[in-house]
Structure 1
């Protein structure tokens, strides 16, 4: 199957209404913004979004009215504040939440990646999260059969589709991620399909002489989308820094209210991600500055 697709083609084929979507990225690092924008353009709804730190992509999907449930370690932009649209939707009862620790979510993805129905952990013992997860049917408190005390059995998380952004890929679907990968490798292995956007897509065999660079091999990747600055306004290690003014502007809108964010989405996303980038940064000066900032950092 030809894996190199446009964002519109990949999202249309592999993100279905009602899907469980595994979300890549972490806080303000390497979020799959181009792919999430396309989900919003195509108005694919009734989604369950799963990940460790669900940040800007989740809030935009919730603002667009496309999410019914989240399974996550946290939902925030750390020093830039909570996800305001998501929080309000949860408070109104429009979005249900499966609240985990980061390690618990990573463990669920690891179980899925190994093809196991569950994995044991002790990370939730003694926490207030455990009772809710037991109620939701994704955790069971048990005894270690080897006499080591209590353990928690965590149900595997197997997303219908995983969305991630990477530094590089080849047309066969071999993926290179530089820097922190967090839960993404296990999440991709656990998912039924995976769509990867990448800063650059190279010809087949590009990594044949350097296989150690490949973070995720082609067997786990369903579609590849070439999209420079596809994580903007979040960062990509060794490529560009995060755009703090953009994130602060979004958070200011989020504090104001849902309607303001929906209006911004409707007016600002444009016909595609390149169009969005041109609207936000017509001269390219902001993007050039982010590239230079990352060069100074690394």
Structure 2
């Protein structure tokens, strides 16, 4: 049996998704809004077609909409589902309105608390988030939350059930072959989500050589003990951004949102040509940016910020 800390975990996206994302899986989704979304991994999930998925996370943004458009999602548990100033997730919203997807609304803090409980191996954790809200009422009815009095006299508290995904998908800056991951900037819910998950697939901008992270171990955000597979994929978050690497592609996001809003044949054609059709994410990038000029511009734009 391989030692989890010294086993080489480098795989292709195709191999990693085939091994760890199975029909019926509860999938934890990394990224937030237009930042560091695991787009390459989500494209691969869509191509392989593992369905009946439950997708969980804080703000489920563009990755969720693509999986819904591909017909692979039956349930979501989330703090929100939108691209902020670029609008809601239109494919997801239509599916919810049509009754094709079961939705459990949370606050972001409640989702983060559920992942934290899973990460430390306890069945629940307390929070005061959602007290007095109809969202809490629905979660109590669903058996996800309970309201109890603080035994030390601090008033009511909400106990939320631990959430342990079958697999989580995240995109990060770099990792070594053993799965030790470095994320620069905001991490949101991802660290606890990964620690709570049975398996985690991480795509990265760069795989660094064995030992490259030894000199500065404090930079390691997620230990390789929690990572199942590492996929090398430069621009693996495109069209969302990666802090200090490249900016988000606003024109691409706006174009997608316009298609998703219309839905129908135009959106289906985009999905077929840009997600399901290309052999891999590199082929998708070449289709979206044949000369690499857009990627170069996004890289330069991020340099101007940091």
Whether the TM-score (by the shorter chain) exceeds 0.5 is: yes
CA distance in 1, matches of 2:199, 2:262: 37
CA distance in 1, matches of 2:219, 2:264: 42
SS of the aligned residue for 1:235 comes to coil
SS of the aligned residue for 2:109 comes to helix
SS of the aligned residue for 2:34 comes to coil
Matched, 1:229 2:235: yes
CA distance in 2, matches of 1:260, 1:187: 35
Name the residue aligned to 1:101. 107
Shift of 1:262: 2.1
CA distance in 1, matches of 2:133, 2:124: 19
1:137-185 Cα offsets, whole Å, 9 max, x none, are: 1001111111111111000010000000000100010000000000000
Shift of 1:96: 0.7
Q: Which moved more, 1:45-54 or 1:204-213?
A: 204-213
Name the residue aligned to 2:3. none
Q: How many residues align?
A: 298
| Contact 1:241–1:290 (8 Å) recurs in 2 | yes
Shift of 1:103: 0.3
Superposed CA RMSD in Å reads 0.7
1:44-101 Cα offsets, whole Å, 9 max, x none, are: 1000000000000000000000000000000000000000000000000000101000
SS of the aligned residue for 1:87 comes to helix
Name the residue aligned to 1:289. 297
Name the residue aligned to 1:160. 166
**Which runs of no fewer than 5 residues in structure 2 stay unpaired?**
1-6
Name the residue aligned to 1:58. 64
Name the residue aligned to 2:75. 69
Name the residue aligned to 1:85. 91
| Contact 1:200–1:227 (8 Å) recurs in 2 | yes
Name the residue aligned to 1:135. 141
SS of the aligned residue for 2:290 comes to coil
SS of the aligned residue for 1:279 comes to helix
TM-score by structure 1 length?
Answer: 0.99
SS of the aligned residue for 1:134 comes to helix
Q: Which moved more, 1:49-58 or 1:256-265?
A: 256-265
TM-score by structure 2 length?
Answer: 0.96
SS of the aligned residue for 2:148 comes to strand
Name the residue aligned to 1:28. 34
**Which runs of no fewer than 5 residues in structure 1 stay unpaired?**
none
